[in-house]
A and B are shown apart, each in its own frame.
Chain A
Amino acid sequence: MAAPHRQSRLSNALFAAPYLVVFIALLVVPLIWGIYLSLQKADLFGLYGFTGWTNYARVLNDALFWQSVRNTLLFVVVTVPILVGIGLFLGLALNARTGGAAFMRGVYFSSTVLSVTIVTLIWRFVFIPGDGLLSLAFQAMGWQPIGFLSTEGWSLFSVGVATVWWCIGLPMILILAALQQIPGDLYEAAALDNASRWRTFTRVTLPQIRGTLILVATIQIVMQFQLFGQAQLMTNGGPNGTSRPMVLYIYRAAFENWDVGQGAAASELLFLIILVAAMGQYWVTSRGPRT
């Protein structure tokens, strides 16, 4: 009995092996390598010896780092609920078996497949002073144009708008899939139970897609903490670093200032923050009543 059992477990492992190899090579090794780097004095040409927590101390004493942390936290706290909210709204609005709904699903999802370069280009056309779409609209209304990409506050706002537009497809599709899994007779039972639309939404729909909403929020938290391309290409972190996210800080440290050790240390701190945020979010949202 034992021999075939062991054999079958071995073949199971064989099936998992390709993924495991890629996982170790592309995730586990870089993670450990990154921790190793963060404890070294290093630049792009090589390592110059173990320095202990020096890199971390330098990062934690850097006002620019804390500014980027604040920027990133603000960005996540604002964009993630908006992404989940709009995703839910679009999912509910487009959960129909009509050609129009299918077409609109395609339209809303299409932005997701664009590269960040194209996305920022499109939104630069909207936000850029002078000939930008909003600028022209403001002029036509006789209002004072706003320098969206070069004004404190507005620059991070503009990056947020572009990000929501770019990322909305995935939350929408995941929530739509969850909505379509809800058995139709639950809604018929609710109709016979005299439930209003709001009661049906809060007592039937939301509990049924709760797990998916938690998943969508977690994915978006992890993704939005890694904001980089949009900020770099639209505002370059400016003005005065007010739209500089953590990943842009890391990039500057490691690849512009050639201080790979400091970049690695900041990266590990970002990793910790994302881990804590995602776990915290999961813990908070999954404490309620289980379905």
Chain B
Amino acid sequence: MSAAIDIRHLTKRFGALTVLDDISLQIEDGEFVVFLGPSGCGKSTLLRMIAGLEGVDEGEIALGDRRIDPLPPGERGVAMVFQSYALYPHMTVRQNMAFGLENVRTPKDEIERRTDAAAKILEIDHLLDRKPQMLSGGQRQRVAIGRAIVKEPKAFLFDEPLSNLDAALRGRTRLELAQLHQRLGATMIFVTHDQVEAMTLADRIVVMHDRRIEQIGTPMEVYQRPATKFVAGFVGSPAMSMLPVSGVTQGPSGARVTVDGVGDIDTAVPLPPGFAAKGASIGIRAEDTTPSDTGLPLTVDVIERLGDRTLLHGHLPDGSELVAQDTGRSTVTAGDTVRVAVDPHAVHLFDADGRAHHATGAD
């Protein structure tokens, strides 16, 4: 039923503006892929091109062994769940789900069988005769998913489907989507700007930025071995702290970087040959720091207590900002200067172009 998606050298322009530039991507049969990126990075446009709602200027899209980019949306074998759900307001839930099947002249008993089955999976069987305006946001969401399921598509496309739900419901629906994917085993593409959704749902994340794909990888690869400075800063909360580097030398276990006003930091990142310090920076995640007697002198500005841990937002003597982590029982108060040690294996080194270098085997 489901199928692989092969995207080759896809380019999209709106007038003189290029919104996607030479995108290539292979999605395996049954894979759950999340397009993650900030607003305007082109992720929704890419999804809409797969759906057939936007034209393709250059390149090809294939679903299974069939090229689909010249086909109209309805003939591509994909189903989409919209951010606004886009349920037909004057039709009942049952009619909403049956509409697509009626259009391709599916026999009545088959429509009924699929509608009932989908309604059961999504626990909306008691809502089948209601109209969308009589449903809550979460229920509408389920109907929109149900409308996709009954079509038994080769691929499901989700365009930020959770962003209109409240936080609690979003968490629950996220989990249910993951279960649904396991149950159906279908190819799914999910667009979001929410990294938590991406991390929890994806088999692989496609991080997009400024018309291009920055990195394709499993959630842990993207998190622990970000390919670029953008990915490192975008994925993870709190965001990775970036410190400007003024000099790089070979240290005992890897690159030794000099941060102005702070001193030298030893890392486990192998010094890349010909690495230029100009414009370079290092990235440190809060969880890779610990309070200690030696280390970087951090003047704490704001304390964020999360219960199980405490985040210390502060600045170093050179003025650059750093977020460090302490235990939940931290006694640090704003205005204190504390020393924080950095795990040398978890430091990321970025060159002037933003390309990342990591300690070997750090994952």
Which among B51, B87, B89 is the interface contact of A192 at CB below 8 angstroms? B51
Residue ID in chain B nearest A194 by CB atoms = B74
Pairwise interchain contact A191-B73, C-beta atoms closer than 8 A: yes
B100 CB–A CB distance under 8 Å: yes
Interface residues of A in 162-197 (CB under 8 A from B): 183, 185-186, 188-196
Are B53 and A188 in contact, with the CB atoms below 8 A? yes
Contact of B99 among A185, A193, A207 (CB under 8 A): A193
A199 within 8 A of B: yes
Known: A183-B84, A185-B84, A188-B73. A193 touches B100 (CB 8 A): yes
A170 to chain B, nearest CB (A): 25
Complex Cα distance A193/B104, Å? 9
Q: B90 near A291 (CB under 8 angstroms)?
A: yes
Check A291/B89 contact, CB under 8 A, given A183-B84, A192-B80, A195-B74.
Answer: yes
A88 to B: closest C-beta gap in Å: 17
B171 touches A (CB below 8 Å):
no
With the chains together, A136 CA to B87 CA distance in Å? 56
Cβ of B317 within 8 Å of any chain A Cβ, yes or no, is no
Residue pair B78, A192 in contact (C-beta under 8 Å): yes
A215 CB, min distance to chain B CBs, angstroms: 17
Interface residues as binary, B94-120 with A (CB distance below 8 Å gives 1, 0 otherwise): 000001100110000000000000000
Within 8 A of A (CB), among B149-178: 151
Q: How far is the CA of A199 from the CA of B75 in the complex (A)?
A: 16
**Chain B residue with the shortest CB-CB distance to A204:** B88
The chain B residue sitting closest to A290, CB to CB, is B90
Interface string of A141-159 (1 = CB under 8 A from B): 0000000000000000000
Could you mark each residue 202-236 of chain A with 1 if its beta carbon is under 8 Å from any beta carbon of chain B, else 0? 01100110000000000000000000000000000
Does B52 make an interface contact (CB < 8 A)?
A: yes
Q: Is there an interface contact between B88 and A189, defined as CB atoms closer than 8 Å?
A: yes
Q: Give the contacting residue for A195; candidates B80, B82, B99; CB below 8 A.
A: B99
**Minimal beta-carbon separation of A216 from chain B (angstroms):** 19
Bound CA span A191–B72, Å: 8
Among A183, A190, A199, A289, the most chain B Cβ lie within 10 Å of the Cβ of A190
In this assembly, does B79 line the interface, its C-beta being within 8 Å of a C-beta of chain A?
Answer: yes
Q: Report B-chain residues with C-beta under 8 Å of the C-beta of A188.
A: 51, 53, 73, 80, 82, 86
Kindly report which residue of chain B lies nearest to residue A186, judged by CB atoms. B86
User: Chain A contacts of B151 at CB under 8 A?
Assistant: 193
Residues from chain B with a CB closer than 8 A to the CB of A193 are: 74, 99-100, 103, 147, 151
Which chain B residue shows the least CB distance to A195? B103
Residues of A within 8 A of B103 (CB): 193-196, 199
Residues on A with beta carbons closer than 8 Å to the beta carbon of B84: 183, 185
Contact with A along B48-82 (1 / 0, CB 8 A): 00011100000000000000000011110011101
Given contact pairs A191-B52, A192-B73, A193-B74, A203 touches B99 in the complex (Cβ within 8 A): yes
A194 close to B104 (CB less than 8 A): yes
Smallest beta-carbon distance A206→chain B, Å:
9
Tell me the residues in window 113-161 of chain B with beta carbons closer than 8 Å to chain A beta carbons: 147, 151
The 7 closest A-B pairs by CB, nearest first: A194-B74, A193-B100, A185-B86, A207-B90, A189-B86, A194-B103, A191-B73
| 20 contacting pairs across A/B (C-beta < 8 A) | A185-B86, A188-B53, A188-B86, A189-B82, A191-B53, A191-B72, A191-B73, A192-B53, A192-B78, A192-B80, A194-B74, A194-B100, A194-B103, A196-B103, A199-B103, A203-B91, A203-B99, A289-B90, A291-B89, A291-B90
